A and B are shown apart, each in its own frame.
Chain A
Amino acid sequence: MVKKYFTKTYEWLDERLDLTSLSHFIEKKYVPVHAHSIWYYFGGVSLFFFLIQVLTGILLLFYYKGSADLAFESIQFIMSKVEFGWLIRSIHAWAANLFILSVFIHMFSVFFEKSYRKPRELTWVTGVFLFFMTLAFGFSGYLLPWNKLAFFATKVGTDIAGNIPIVGNIMKGFLRGGDDVTGATLSRFFGFHVALFPGIFTILLVIHLIMVQRQGMSEPMETEGTPETEKKSMPFFPNFMLRDLLLWLIVLNVLAILAVFFPADLGEKADPFSSAPAGIKPEWYFLFMFQTLKYIPAKIFIMDGELLGILLFGFAGLLWVLVPFWDTQSSKGLRNRKINYIGLFAVGFIIVLTILGWVS
């Protein structure tokens, strides 16, 4: 009976929307199977975290108030009075961290597999911009509880933007909504976090996913030469998708455990007229940059150390976006060991400085 209705509905829609061609496309979609197949899953996991963030973010919006007088209190209310408020917020906070971690892993696995090589250059570029957007989400969302740590982290972060040559001051004013970090900054960050960034992110994500669908999964360079008949693969639907969903389920469980046993902290309310507390640190994903800035001396020759640090990180970021365009060897199918060394240096640098930042 149910099946009959289902078939009828499908036929009704198919007549109007030509669903058959879509199902043919899905049937024909295969995922290569090889020693490094596991890395394929991190894109999907990142997507899952984004969906969780959208859902929990919308739920938080029902109670959150984005003003300097009310933000902290509204989160206190969510955490203590609203039923399961603590759970929703803790999942949002944990998923944010795991989202960024998963994007890091996804990005570096793509880098080491050199999956950005021709014809997937633009998939890489959109991916790196999505990565920057996740960091922007993290930075803007961090301020919203309006606590002390967030207040000073935002002061530092926006002041760094202010140090960028030529456009720095305009950018700082634009981000802060004035000269200092105030309620105006909170309003802006709230707008960025819940409207502007999700909009941009969704557009980039759709482009990224369309490109992945159009080009299919990238294969490792080692198996590229083998004849089609010897290559192993599995159908995307249902084999790969079921594996994906199983992993999503595991991730959801991990998230629930973390949120229940380590609920998100709120700290003290921000006070623009108090000193920065001892032991202040940014979120872990900014720690490596924070720690690097600590080591750079005030002046290097005639240049402010700060400016040098910002320029170096900016330049590294630009090189990172443009990897497919300067690593021309990989696109020709040639091994490029330099890329591995650069990747290893980047991973090592990030890990070592993060640990140093953590323990200091």
Chain B
Amino acid sequence: MSENLQSRRSFITSILTLGAAGLSASIIYPIIKYLTPPKQREAEVSNVSAGKIKDMENDSFKIVRFGNKPVILIKTDKGDFKALSAQCTHLDCTVQYKKSEGVIWCACHNGKYDLNGRNISGPPPRPLDPYMVQIKGEEVFISKKA
């Protein structure tokens, strides 16, 4: 009799445990899923216009929107164009061109890159990703490197 009671009890305990686990999972799983941001398809951008050549002075820069990423476009003192990812490889700040030193500089942690995007001093661990610059007539276009 008592053995019977025992097995009934353990049966009920395991059923209840299973039920509690199922209930917890059915509450926690949707919450975790809800909190994970949905993957939004990045706008497929392969090519953007960065404005007219004459609108940029020599030895200056601007940040261009490439899809939802910032790209730095530099017009060197010789009038050449260079385009690189503007996201510092250290902690994701947006870089700028430092005229006085002729380098790309990140103000957040003093990281520096040369004009080819190579990390030359400070904490950045990797170079900046390069982009391609094309000139069509008077206009400057930036595109992803193949």
- Asked if A and B bind, the verdict is yes
Given the known interface contacts A174-B36, A180-B68, A294-B109, the answer about A276 and B123 at a Cβ–Cβ threshold of 8 Å is no
A225 vs chain B, min Cβ distance (A): 50
At the interface, yes or no: B110 with Cβ under 8 Å from chain A?
A: yes
A200 to B69, CA, bound (A): 35
Residues of B within 8 A of A296 (CB): 123
A280 to B137, CA, bound (A): 39
A261-287 to B contact mask, C-beta < 8 Å, 1/0: 000000000001111111110000000
Do B65 and A273 touch across chains, with their CB atoms under 8 A apart? yes
Do B123 and A275 touch across chains, with their CB atoms under 8 A apart? no
Residues of A within 8 A of B30 (CB): none
At the interface, yes or no: B16 with Cβ under 8 Å from chain A?
A: no
B2 vs chain A, min Cβ distance (A): 42
Given the known interface contacts A152-B94, A305-B123, the answer about A184 and B37 at a Cβ–Cβ threshold of 8 Å is yes
Do B125 and A306 touch across chains, with their CB atoms under 8 A apart? yes
* Beta-carbon contacts under 8 Å, B92-135 to A: 92-96, 106-110, 119, 122-125
Residues of A within 8 A of B123 (CB): 293-294, 296-298, 305-306
Residues of B within 8 A of A273 (CB): 63-65, 70, 94
A87 to B95, CA, bound (A): 35
Residues of A within 8 A of B94 (CB): 152, 272-276
Residues of A within 8 A of B95 (CB): 275-276
Residues of A within 8 A of B40 (CB): 178
A273 to B123, CA, bound (A): 22
Given the known interface contacts A159-B92, A173-B36, the answer about A275 and B109 at a Cβ–Cβ threshold of 8 Å is no
At the interface, yes or no: A194 with Cβ under 8 Å from chain B?
A: no
At the interface, yes or no: A251 with Cβ under 8 Å from chain B?
A: no
A2 to B90, CA, bound (A): 68
At the interface, yes or no: B43 with Cβ under 8 Å from chain A?
A: no
* Beta-carbon contacts under 8 Å, A166-189 to B: 173-174, 176-178, 180, 184
Given the known interface contacts A274-B63, A298-B125, the answer about A306 and B35 at a Cβ–Cβ threshold of 8 Å is no
**Count of chain B residues near A, Cβ 8 A:** 29
Do A298 and B91 touch across chains, with their CB atoms under 8 A apart? no
B46 vs chain A, min Cβ distance (A): 18
Residues of B within 8 A of A152 (CB): 93-94, 108
Given the known interface contacts A155-B93, A184-B37, the answer about A276 and B106 at a Cβ–Cβ threshold of 8 Å is yes
Given the known interface contacts A272-B70, A297-B123, A304-B125, the answer about A173 and B37 at a Cβ–Cβ threshold of 8 Å is yes
Sort chain A's interface into a size bin: 20 to 34
A293 to B86, CA, bound (A): 20
At the interface, yes or no: A156 with Cβ under 8 Å from chain B?
A: yes
Residues of B within 8 A of A160 (CB): 91
Given the known interface contacts A156-B91, A306-B125, the answer about A174 and B110 at a Cβ–Cβ threshold of 8 Å is no
Q: Which of B37, B63, B94, B108 has the most chain A CB within a 10 Å cutoff?
A: B108
At the interface, yes or no: A34 with Cβ under 8 Å from chain B?
A: no
A216 to B75, CA, bound (A): 69
B137 vs chain A, min Cβ distance (A): 25
At the interface, yes or no: A299 with Cβ under 8 Å from chain B?
A: yes
Do B63 and A276 touch across chains, with their CB atoms under 8 A apart? no
11 contacts between A and B (CB under 8 A): A152-B93, A178-B40, A275-B63, A276-B106, A276-B107, A279-B107, A280-B108, A290-B109, A294-B123, A298-B119, A298-B124
Q: Which residues of A contact B (CB under 8 A)?
A: 152, 155-156, 158-160, 173-174, 176-178, 180, 184, 272-280, 290, 293-294, 296-299, 304-306
Q: Which residues of B contact A (CB under 8 A)?
A: 35-37, 40, 63-65, 68, 70, 72, 86, 88, 90-96, 106-110, 119, 122-125
- Apart from A176-B37, A180-B68, A276-B88, 20 more pairs, CB < 8 Å: A152-B108, A156-B109, A174-B36, A178-B37, A273-B70, A275-B63, A275-B72, A275-B95, A275-B96, A275-B107, A276-B108, A278-B107, A280-B107, A293-B91, A293-B109, A293-B123, A294-B123, A298-B125, A305-B125, A306-B90
